[in-house]
Amino acid sequence: MVGLHSTDPASVYLAALARTRALDVATMVRVLYDERTLLRLLGMRRTMFVVPLDLAAIILSACTREIGQRERRRVVGFFEEAGVAPDPEAWLSQLEEATLAALGTLDSATATELTREVPGLAKQIRVGIGKRWEGTIGVSTRILFLLAAEGRILRGRPRGSWISSQYRWARLDRWIPAGLADWETGAARSELVRRWLATFGPGTIADLKWWSGWSLGQVRQALAAVDHTEVDLDGVTGIMLQHDLEPTPIPGPWVALLPALDSTVMGWTERRWYLGEHGPALFDTNGNAGPTVWSDGRVVGGWVHHRDGRIAVRLLEDIGREATEAVDQRAAEIGSWLGTVRVTPRFRTPLEQELLASG
């Protein structure tokens, strides 16, 4: 996989569970926060991912730092509009340095804890005055997002349980003392394209553009340095790695229950070939995928986790008795694995809402 989606904290664990023979929460907690061989960072399309350290270095150079550049211009614009200081850029720089210094002392801290150390982070400012999106934003939110997008801080151990999204922040140079490899931007983008093709290929230029969040020009430039070839995808031109042309052995029958925003579900922008007509039921209006049921490489339904611990499944097509029994068994296994924990996706889909309403 090219990373595990991490917008919903539980999705990281459920996605790993779906792809391993055995997994426990303690193992994931250990590799994320003790051994620190996996890292959570902002990546493609401003989306949170959990990835190994070598891939984190690639994503940081290929995607994250450009997000940080855009975010810096945006934050400075907000500060100028709000008139927070005679020199907004200098004020921003002072807050950043004070925040980094505080994290050097505290080792890691929540936004609330940092605000006690750096009072300027507590400031609230009005943005978009006179526009439809006028509102108030917290300075701490913007500063911490900016520092993370520039690769200077990261989201560390959460406050509370493993499904909590209230993370402590830590300096990257303290969290990973050896640091991350330094990639040139163009080389990093080409390597990320190669990894996407190795995992999701064949796909289309449009798929890659959507998945990466880059411009079409950036995609084409990155692709030019990758040994690839064009293939026909039912009348549409696709791309895949040149050395990946051999037929893939057909696996035996299989089923899977994947979590909301799973990396496979969100791997392509054109999804009809594995999603069929089920998109309106399984995605929200913003294009966020809910929990899905898979059978032999296709999405065949969805599922929801009830407050009483039950995993309720709805199949949207007939997959036969044996596959249906396998889905029910897998649902029971996931319910048992979760135990007393309750998973609530950040974005509810129409099918989830129907299943919750029906009890």
Contact present, 327 and 293 (Cβ < 8 Å):
yes
DSSP sequence for 331-343: HHHHHHHHTT---
- Please, what's the b/e burial string for 94-130 (b: 16 or more CB within 10 A of its CB; e: otherwise)? ebbebbeebbeebebbbbebbbeebebbebebebeee
Q: Where in the chain is the domain with CATH 1.10.10?
A: 188-244
Rg (CA), the chain: 22
pLDDT reported for residue 82: 86
Contact present, 45 and 201 (Cβ < 8 Å):
no
Q: DSSP class of residue 192?
A: H
pLDDT reported for residue 128: 79
Does 191 score more than 80 pLDDT? yes
User: Which CATH number, 1.20.1530, 1.10.10, 2.60.40, 1.10.1660, labels domain 188-244?
Assistant: 1.10.10
Helix (H) or strand (E) holding 101: helix 88-106
Does 210 score more than 80 pLDDT? yes
**Which range is least confidently modeled, 26-30, 152-156, 247-251?**
247-251
CA quadruple 282, 288, 290, 295: dihedral positive or negative?
Answer: positive
pLDDT reported for residue 43: 96
Does 192 score more than 90 pLDDT? yes
User: Which residue shows structure tokens 């899977």?
Assistant: 256
Give tens-digit pLDDT for 257-306.
Answer: 999 999 999 999 999 999 999 999 999 999 999 999 999 999 999 999 99
Give tens-digit pLDDT for 31-81.
Answer: 999 999 999 999 999 999 999 999 999 999 999 999 999 999 999 998 998
pLDDT reported for residue 81: 87
Helix (H) or strand (E) holding 266: none
pLDDT reported for residue 196: 98
Percent of the chain with pLDDT strictly greater than 70: 100
pLDDT reported for residue 61: 97
| Pairwise CA distance, residues 186 & 223, whole Å | 10
pTM for the complete prediction? 0.94
Amino acid type, 29:
V
The 3-state secondary structure of 9-72 reads: HHHHHHHHHHCCCCCCHHHHHHHHHHCCCEEEEECHHHCEEEEEHHHHHHHHHHHHHHHHHHHH
Average pLDDT taken over every residue of the chain? 95
Does 130 score more than 90 pLDDT? no
Does 342 score more than 90 pLDDT? yes
pLDDT reported for residue 339: 95
Task: Give the pairing type, strands 124-127 and 236-241.
Answer: unpaired
